């Protein structure tokens, strides 16, 4: 079951007394399904949001989930009791072999949101608040520090929840506040149903980070956008051997209207300087080029970008036709953002061997 993004206008039609709130954590949604085989042995499978079986990457979690049932939760990495960044979690994803050393360095953790099946009893038709009570008892019986209950966010009014979202540390998230992406709102009486039904669950993410970046490369999109150059790679300035130069920090293909798409496509076609197969390099000089205001939800170290950084979930929030490229942001600005994130988590920055894309 997935949530709709909430808008400011939605709050006018919603009663806060009908909802419960949880923190939205910086991991990946999973369902942990434990059953019993023909020999009476508990068998656990971990499934990603897309239905992929990722159990082999997390045997340390599978070994503690020995109580039959199905938990919906967030897969995280905890070190010293603190939630780490998604960048750190990536060190455990898509691994063909998971060594004891890797498990020790990147200890997996399941933060439980919901209980869909308890033993053989299907709970999905029961109200969320009842499933939550059953979930608490289920987690307590597991009695393992690698699985815990996602804490509720106390609030009585939308104003109180707004304040909690703005300052998770003061609202109970404590040392893990930097790992909070926002809040989840769930109707107390909501059943657990497939898909993304509107009105039962809402997600309200924290305000994104924003920088101005310069369009560097473009390529055609897919489907109805296959006739347009709609996938854009953009960069920020840094000091190079012969002066300032642009280095890529992200790629986005949404956040603009159809009319804006047509204008960007026209710019790409009229300002192409090189072609590399399906990719066009476009003019990106100090006084000539196109500046994007880019909104994104995080930063991580990357060995695949010359900048050493990559944005998470970037989108184009505004076209800055009014701004010359020389006034776009610098790599040092992003470095400072990342340093604040890493310092807030108290972690050692991890190095990406292979970047992955996650949903939700």
Helix residue ranges, H only, the chain: 59-62, 86-89, 100-105, 128-142, 158-166, 258-270, 331-345
Q: Which domain does 232 fall in, by range? A: 209-345
- pLDDT, one tens digit per residue, over 26-41 is 889 999 999 988 888 8
Report residue 161 CA to chain centroid gap: 21
List the beta bridge partners of residue 95: none
Measured between its terminal Cα atoms, the distance across the chain in Å is 11
Reduced to 3 states (helix: H, G, I; strand: E, B; else coil), residue 224 is: helix
Residue 198, domain CATH: 3.30.470.30
| Residues catalogued as catalytic | 24
Query: Which of 205, 220, 251 is at the close of a domain?
Result: 205
Whether 134 and 230 map to the same domain: the answer is no
Percent of the chain with pLDDT over 70: 94
Helix (H, G, I), strand (E, B) or coil at 9: helix
Domain shared by 165 and 292, yes or no: no
The yes-or-no verdict on residue 351 having pLDDT over 70 is no
Among 92-96, 101-105, 219-223, 325-329, the minimum mean pLDDT is found in 92-96
- Contact residues for 225 (Cβ-Cβ < 8 A; gap 6+): 261
Q: 78 and 30 in one domain?
A: yes
Q: Which helix (H) or strand (E) holds 291?
A: strand 291-296
Domain boundary residue, one of 205, 238, 271: 205
d(CA 328, CA 253): 20
Residues 169 and 219 both lie in one domain: no
**pLDDT category, 344, cuts 50, 70, 90?**
low
| 194-252 confidence digits (pLDDT tens) | 988 889 999 998 877 899 999 999 999 888 888 999 999 999 999 988 899 999 999 99
Structural domain count of the chain: 2
Residue 173's closest CA among 200, 203, 150, 190?
150
Domain boundary among 167, 182, 205: 205
Q: Clarify whether residues 231 and 143 are in a common domain.
A: no
Predicted local confidence at residue 92, as pLDDT: 83
pLDDT of 220 reads 93
């Amino acid at each position: 079951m997935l949530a709709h993004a909430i808008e400011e206008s939605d709050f006018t039609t919603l009663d806060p007394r009908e909802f419960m709130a949880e923190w939205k954590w910086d991991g990946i949604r999973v369902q942990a399904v434990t059953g019993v085989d023909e020999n009476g042995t508990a068998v656990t499978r971990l499934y990603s949001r897309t239905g992929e079986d990722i159990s082999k990457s997390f045997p340390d979690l599978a070994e503690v989930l020995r109580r039959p049932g199905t938990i919906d939760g967030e897969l995280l990495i905890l070190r010293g009791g603190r939630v780490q960044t998604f960048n750190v979690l990536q060190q455990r994803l898509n691994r063909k072999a998971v060594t004891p050393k890797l498990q020790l360095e990147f200890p997996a953790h399941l933060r439980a949101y919901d209980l869909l099946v308890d033993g053989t009893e299907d709970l999905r038709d029961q109200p969320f608040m009842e499933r939550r009570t059953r979930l608490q008892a289920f987690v307590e019986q597991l009695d393992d520090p690698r699985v815990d209950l996602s804490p509720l966010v106390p609030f009585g009014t939308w104003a109180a929840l707004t304040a909690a979202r703005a300052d998770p540390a003061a609202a109970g998230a404590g040392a893990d506040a930097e790992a909070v992406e926002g809040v989840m709102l769930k109707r107390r009486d909501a059943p657990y149903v497939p898909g993304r039904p509107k009105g039962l669950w809402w997600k309200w993410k924290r305000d994104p980070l924003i920088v101005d970046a310069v369009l560097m490369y473009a390529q055609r999109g897919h489907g109805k956008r296959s006739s347009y150059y709609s996938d854009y790679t953009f960069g920020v300035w840094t000091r190079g051997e012969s002066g300032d130069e642009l280095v890529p920090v992200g790629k986005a293909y949404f956040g603009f209207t159809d009319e804006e798409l047509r204008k960007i496509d026209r710019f790409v076609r009229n300002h192409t300087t090189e072609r590399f197969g399906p990719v066009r390099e476009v003019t990106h000089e100090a006084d000539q080029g196109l500046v994007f205001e880019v909104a994104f939800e995080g930063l991580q170290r990357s060995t695949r970008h010359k900048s050493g950084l990559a944005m998470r979930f970037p989108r184009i929030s505004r076209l800055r036709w009014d701004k010359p490229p020389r006034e776009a942001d610098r790599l040092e600005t992003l470095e400072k953002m990342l340093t604040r994130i890493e310092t807030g988590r108290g972690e050692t920055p991890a190095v990406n061997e292979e970047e992955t894309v996650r949903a939700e």
